[in-house]
Structure 1
């Protein structure tokens, strides 16, 4: 196969990606006759793309047939009607394009030793499964898709091909979008986003199906859904009629549910459809009959993207201080811990408890108002403490046998001299890893984990599984975020974004924003000697610390704030 021919075909196919401007909708009437019903157009932006693929070309060879078939796989209209023309009749019936999407940076067709069998070799950027769960992949990630061809009426056709499609990365970013579907924390107090990738013209139905299918694997056990397991759509569409998304569910489960549960279902769908401008409200239906949901005030809407308090805890003159409004002051009712040489402090977002490490990062201490500090654990290389909304303080380090352990303690409410409730977890995916950072998300269902194994750094998000009283029990197998560097510091910025960096007292440091909505890191402005990182509510409230003081992110640079304090951290 000649490279120039491939590039020509690829360019031609990409030029066929036409953005159709849809006519704008008038204001939806609040009275009068029932309006227009749409099954899959709900929520699509005005520039929702439509791909017009090329049909099979007479006389095309098997290599060109495979390339053109996968390029035609970007044409999702009419159930991939054009792409199916590249298949034999039997293969066209069996092929399920929506099982997965392989998103490639580059691709080529390679002959195998078996006659009429070829491999479509991909350098993968993402893999997206049938539920829209995307896995970003580093450069150099390879996969080969086998294809068996045969001649039909003198023309090559594909007789055997795995389910799914494979499309170029740039095409994928135009056709697909990242959308959050929402679940609840176990107390139904907070909304937790679960990012999925869907075709932009098919979002409402896809979102609903994904929501009914349950959370992504890394969130299973950490979040809950108002929808019982096994509940399904009663029909394969979600019409939107005059702004109302009509979600038609299997009757028995919906009718048997309490009004409180139905209200939570409706709220969960409304949160999920927030990104869809054509959807104004949600109707629950059972076999097309409207099911009444009474909002009697018994269910409060969940908090989305929980805020943290505006102040920070820090260390100044070798003691704990509060950093607020660009000034330093004492922590209320907290005794001096200067004799313990505190570093890397944390403050609870729900009580006045604080925690910190000693200078050697070998001992974790907690301190409560009116009480002296107490040692919680001693071991080598502890990670900076992090409080969750249940008032547990977390750290990680090697156990007595060298295995990596994640530790959680609950000092608040514990009398002096009494044993502090403690939990030790040894998730198998952390075996052999050295944890550099462990930070719990603001709603308490997830944690950012930065760890190193054999010199290779991973940035991951894990789910936190708890008992009914909030006591931590386990961590889920995580998802991995791609970073351009090997960070050793990280903080939550909001419910879908973390900031990370490779700290250095001597070199320029370039922090990055890693988003669950995108595989590409966003680099912030470099700054010399950054050794600590903190974040408040959103990307504008990111702080860095060097020997020159504390700096706040300002546009594409950093603005000096304060000297004399180190290791700042917002509550959490």
Structure 2
């Protein structure tokens, strides 16, 4: 007898493979004694716990695959889930399966289908059809797909001597729907110091929740990713690794990091920076302190000033009625010193930290400094120059075609040749607050793309080039502008599926929530310009009717003023 193909929508994949237990930590309810007023506070309900279950006797091949997928999803969150997942596989398949080689982030649960097989078959093939919206590599680096792509993932099963089906061959990695990805993987910001040891450069990764501190420490020891390698430095001696494959947190909040003896080669000052680096990465809030040890011996450190995390410094400026004003507390205010715009046609605005320098794009042919002695002064000339950006070294960035220009504080103008931009037209540039990264919007044969690259600088902090980039916000259509909204988040001006303009948030390495995917920030119709403040979550947007709107943190947009032409936070 032949069994026909069965396609099982795995919408209840977890329910089919698990028993859910809601765990509630609360005070004990007395069962005897006198009635009295209660003074015990109940703790909040904790996360939902999952109890994985193994294969049922007599399960069909598709049921085995379905059960395995459901249990494997829990592996990053449960110490026992992968032990149960092993029961669905043959010993050889279990030994050969690299569970974290890749993670496919899915639009929805897999659709599991069994091929036609005779009743007495000893082998079978089951396929899982999935729609992939993002991927995660073995180092926890997240990449969003431009659009969902359908993939067919095969599983080969064999019938064992006892008559039970088991998976004998499968591809490496995990598959998780977006709804569960954020529960299984912990978004973790690694920090690497700038070469001048004054700022932290953030790098967002995703690690299994059960082991995220251990994995994050291993990646810190491995050094920055390729795209940040020449924009950051390391204070940990090469070859240093974890002495034991675990980073533990004690009851008093101490984070114990035990490293191999190589760490002793670092000076006390560099060990202090290493502790600060691990503290910034692992602590997550108050009350936890990193203690570094060489094996079992705590290491001495020297006091060091804390490095700064990326943060916008200063108020936003706006252009209205032919003059520059300050945006303060949802209102417009006159600046301390008037800035001359007479004779200029301001089409874009930028400012550095502390309002210096303040520059405008004059038409599309010039970038002009309108603050300081001798203003106005032409910094960059060209045709179709993109809106400028100012870095923390007072360097003013713009571009023409595929060419990047930087007007230095010294007055010199340099041009950067970037290989990956050679066949593209730059539309927008924005340097991050610490000056180590740049967001670039460009158009070319592959369409409109957003990239983030490392800024390579010489010993005098003069830019000399850009690293190979990472793509960000791949699912956002027709992006015209990108600005830094948070340490590893960009605010993008792009289009919805229906063609209407909108503001989006996109993570450099994924966005916390919604499976790491980019998302719309609703509330402004027909936005034409957006700017943001790193560290506060504040954003400002100007719509097609020249109305300025403000959004503080995650609050709704509110109107600030009408007849506003341009607006810009420092950066």
Scaled to the shorter chain, the TM-score interval is: 0.7 to 0.9
Residue number in structure 1 paired with 2:406: 408
CA contact (8 A) 1:18 1:49 kept: yes
Which residues of 2 match residues 405-484 of structure 1 at below 5 A?
A: 405-410=403-408, 412-414=409-411, 420-428=412-420, 430-454=421-445, 456-476=447-467, 477-484=469-476
Note the alpha carbon deviations across 1:181-218, whole angstroms, 9 max, x for none. 22222222112222122232322212212222223443
Note the C-alpha offset of 1:112.
8.1
Counterpart Cα distance in 2 of 1:409 and 1:464: 15
CA contact (8 A) 2:403 2:415 kept: no
CA contact (8 A) 1:316 1:564 kept: yes
Question: What SS does structure 1 have at the residue aligned with 2:221?
Answer: helix
**Bigger Cα displacement from structure 2, 131-140 vs 325-334:** 325-334
Counterpart Cα distance in 2 of 1:163 and 1:511: 37
Counterpart Cα distance in 2 of 1:17 and 1:202: 22
Determine if the alignment matches structure 1 residue 344 to structure 2 residue 343: no
Question: What SS does structure 1 have at the residue aligned with 2:106?
Answer: strand
Residue number in structure 1 paired with 2:83: 81
Question: What SS does structure 1 have at the residue aligned with 2:472?
Answer: strand
Note the alpha carbon deviations across 1:64-87, whole angstroms, 9 max, x for none. 322222222123224711111122
Aligned length: 529
Match of 1:259 among 258, 263, 268: 268
Question: What SS does structure 1 have at the residue aligned with 2:148?
Answer: coil
Which residues of 2 match residues 262-281 of structure 1 at below 5 A?
A: 262-275=271-284, 280-281=288-289
Determine if the alignment matches structure 1 residue 250 to structure 2 residue 242: no
Match of 2:145 among 120, 137, 141: 137
Note the alpha carbon deviations across 1:147-169, whole angstroms, 9 max, x for none. 33222212222222232222333
Residue number in structure 2 paired with 1:168: 177
Residue number in structure 1 paired with 2:559: 560
Note the C-alpha offset of 1:344.
0.4
Note the C-alpha offset of 1:276.
6.5
Gaps of 5+ in 2: 28-43, 118-122
CA contact (8 A) 1:503 1:530 kept: no
Q: TM-score, normalised by structure 2?
A: 0.83
Distance 1:562 1:170, change over 3 A: closer
Residue number in structure 2 paired with 1:294: 302
Q: TM-score, normalised by structure 1?
A: 0.83
Note the C-alpha offset of 1:375.
3.9
Note the alpha carbon deviations across 1:326-365, whole angstroms, 9 max, x for none. 345467485x342232320212226732332222x23333
CA contact (8 A) 2:10 2:112 kept: no
CA contact (8 A) 1:550 1:565 kept: yes
Distance 1:463 1:533, change over 3 A: same
Distance 1:432 1:245, change over 3 A: same
Residue number in structure 2 paired with 1:547: 545
Question: What SS does structure 1 have at the residue aligned with 2:210?
Answer: coil
Distance 1:173 1:570, change over 3 A: closer
Residue number in structure 2 paired with 1:36: none
Counterpart Cα distance in 2 of 1:82 and 1:88: 13
Note the C-alpha offset of 1:268.
0.7
Note the C-alpha offset of 1:483.
4.8
CA contact (8 A) 1:382 1:396 kept: yes
Question: What SS does structure 2 have at the residue aligned with 1:304?
Answer: coil
Which residues of 2 match residues 328-343 of structure 1 at below 5 A?
A: 329=334, 332=337, 336-343=340-347
Residue number in structure 1 paired with 2:482: 490
Note the C-alpha offset of 1:465.
2.0
**Bigger Cα displacement from structure 2, 157-166 vs 82-91:** 157-166
Gaps of 5+ in 1: 25-44, 399-403, 415-419
Residue number in structure 1 paired with 2:385: 382
Counterpart Cα distance in 2 of 1:448 and 1:188: 22
**Bigger Cα displacement from structure 2, 380-389 vs 63-72:** 63-72
Question: What SS does structure 2 have at the residue aligned with 1:357?
Answer: strand
CA contact (8 A) 1:48 1:201 kept: no
Which residues of 2 match residues 111-122 of structure 1 at below 5 A?
A: 116-122=124-130
Counterpart Cα distance in 2 of 1:564 and 1:536: 22
CA contact (8 A) 1:350 1:389 kept: no
Match of 1:370 among 373, 377, 382: 373
Cα root mean square deviation, aligned? 3.2
Residue number in structure 1 paired with 2:312: 307
Distance 1:207 1:557, change over 3 A: closer
Counterpart Cα distance in 2 of 1:529 and 1:103: 31
CA contact (8 A) 1:485 1:501 kept: no
Counterpart Cα distance in 2 of 1:6 and 1:546: 45
Match of 1:197 among 188, 193, 206: 206
Residue number in structure 2 paired with 1:149: 157
CA contact (8 A) 1:49 1:175 kept: no
Note the C-alpha offset of 1:249.
0.6
Question: What SS does structure 2 have at the residue aligned with 1:225?
Answer: coil
Question: What SS does structure 2 have at the residue aligned with 1:141?
Answer: strand
Counterpart Cα distance in 2 of 1:244 and 1:494: 28
Question: What SS does structure 1 have at the residue aligned with 2:449?
Answer: strand
Determine if the alignment matches structure 1 residue 188 to structure 2 residue 197: yes
Question: What SS does structure 2 have at the residue aligned with 1:202?
Answer: helix
Residue number in structure 2 paired with 1:396: 399
Residue number in structure 1 paired with 2:56: 57
Distance 1:288 1:79, change over 3 A: farther
Note the C-alpha offset of 1:237.
1.2
Distance 1:393 1:467, change over 3 A: same
Note the C-alpha offset of 1:425.
2.7
Note the alpha carbon deviations across 1:416-439, whole angstroms, 9 max, x for none. xxxx241323231x3433332211
Distance 1:6 1:526, change over 3 A: closer
Determine if the alignment matches structure 1 residue 214 to structure 2 residue 216: no
Counterpart Cα distance in 1 of 2:80 and 2:449: 41
Question: What SS does structure 2 have at the residue aligned with 1:16?
Answer: strand
Counterpart Cα distance in 2 of 1:139 and 1:408: 35
